[in-house]
Amino acid sequence: MMDYLYDGTFEGLLTCLYYNFAKIKATGIYRTDTYQTSLVNPHVAITTKEQLADKMYEKIRKHLGTYTLTDLYYCFLSEKDGFENILLSFIDLCFRNGPVYAGYHTHKEVIPFDDIVGKVKREVQRYVGYVRFKAVGDVLYSEINPEFFILPMLASHFADRYFNEKIIIHDAGRSLALISKDGKHFIMPYTETDLPGSEKEDHITNLWKEYFQHIAIEGRINLKLQRNFVPLKYRKDLVEFSKPK
């Protein structure tokens, strides 16, 4: 019985899972940099090994299916405090009792897992629509402030949609950016924010704002309904909700 510490990468997490199933059961999995030493359990820092991670990955895919595997990745992207242990108990349950348990939504180990996965998926779905680009030269730049680390899940959609464009989607809170060009994409550290605007850009933004004002039917105004769909926390990323300068 011991706490496993990993380096914060998905491969690291998979390596921990591998040791958990192949060697000694883990009492918990934690990130090395935020771990608070436990008085009860001894801990060991696990070095990420790609080979073992691959092995674990294949095992999960083979026994639990691609769908559950994707859900595990979504759970990883949540970066929520203690998600590792929720993931661990979920996957432990599935391996012990068989893949049907992944669909056992009302089980006490599955509920919190489904909860996290659902939240991340919802945010990804939202940001597919919420990303707003601004043309800077021939580059399209967008700043977003999502709750979860959703950039990897946005990548293939935007890389395909803007196949012939150069795009930067900047996750300001994490100082990372998704960069895509010619259908290829990668994520890298990024901090630049004050990119120059242009007159044409302002004009198009104003046109959009004008359109947005006029498309609502006065007799049906329902701000509460609007807030359900566009929660206030996302509005700073949306140009149509920003106040005129």
Partner 1 sequence: MDDNLMNKLAILAEGAKYDVSCSSSGVERLNNGKGIGNARGWGICHTWSADGRCVSLLKLLMTNSCVYDCSYCVNRLSNDVPRASMSPEEIAMLTMEFYRRNYIEGLFLSSAIEKTPDDTMEKMYRTLDLLRNVHQYNGYIHIKAIPGASSDLIRNCGYLADRMSVNIELPSRESLKLLAPQKSFEKIMPPIENIRNNILLYKDERKSFKKTPKFVPGGQSTQVIIGATPDTDRSILSVSEKLYSDYGLKRVYYSAYMPVNEGPNLPSLFSAPPLLREHRLYQADWLLRFYDFSVKELFAGNSSSIDSNLDPKLNWALNNLHLFPVEINKAPLEMLIRVPGIGHISASRIIRERRVNFLDFERLKKTGCVFLKAKYFVTCKGKYDGESLDSEFIRRKLLNKMDYQQISFLG
**Is residue 19 a contact residue for partner 1 (CB under 8 A)?**
no
**Is residue 238 a contact residue for partner 1 (CB under 8 A)?**
yes
Nearer to partner 1, 189 or 229 (CB): 229
CB of 65 to partner 1, least distance (A): 13
Do the bridges between strand 184-189 and strand 176-181 make them parallel or antiparallel, or are there none, so unpaired?
antiparallel
Residue showing tokens 């998600």:
83
**Is residue 135 a contact residue for partner 1 (CB under 8 A)?**
yes
**Is residue 221 a contact residue for partner 1 (CB under 8 A)?**
yes
Nearer to partner 1, 53 or 131 (CB): 131
Binding partner 1 by CB under 8 A: which of 136, 139, 176, 230? 230
**Is residue 131 a contact residue for partner 1 (CB under 8 A)?**
yes
Nearer to partner 1, 101 or 190 (CB): 101
DSSP collapsed to 3 states, the chain? CEEEEECCCHHHHHHHHHHHHHCCCEEEEEEHHHCCCCCCCCEEECCCCHHHHHHHHHHHHHHHHHHHHHHHHHHHHCCCCCHHHHHHHHHHHHHHHCHHHHHCCCCCCHHHHHHHHHHHHHHHHHHHHHCCCEEECCEEEEEECCCCCCHHHHHHHHHHHCCCCEEEEEECCCCEEEEEECCEEEEEECCCCCCCCCHHHHHHHHHHHHHHHHCCCHHHCCHHHHHHHCCHHHHHHCHHHCCCC
CB of 204 to partner 1, least distance (A): 5
List binders of partner 1 among 141-200 (CB under 8 A): 142, 157, 160-165, 183, 200
Binding partner 1 by CB under 8 A: which of 96, 105, 243, 245? 105
Binding partner 1 by CB under 8 A: which of 39, 40, 188, 215? 215
**Is residue 244 a contact residue for partner 1 (CB under 8 A)?**
no
Q: Interface with partner 1 by CB under 8 A: which residues?
A: 97, 100-101, 103-107, 111, 128-135, 140, 142, 157, 160-165, 183, 200, 203-204, 206-208, 210-217, 219-226, 228-230, 238-240
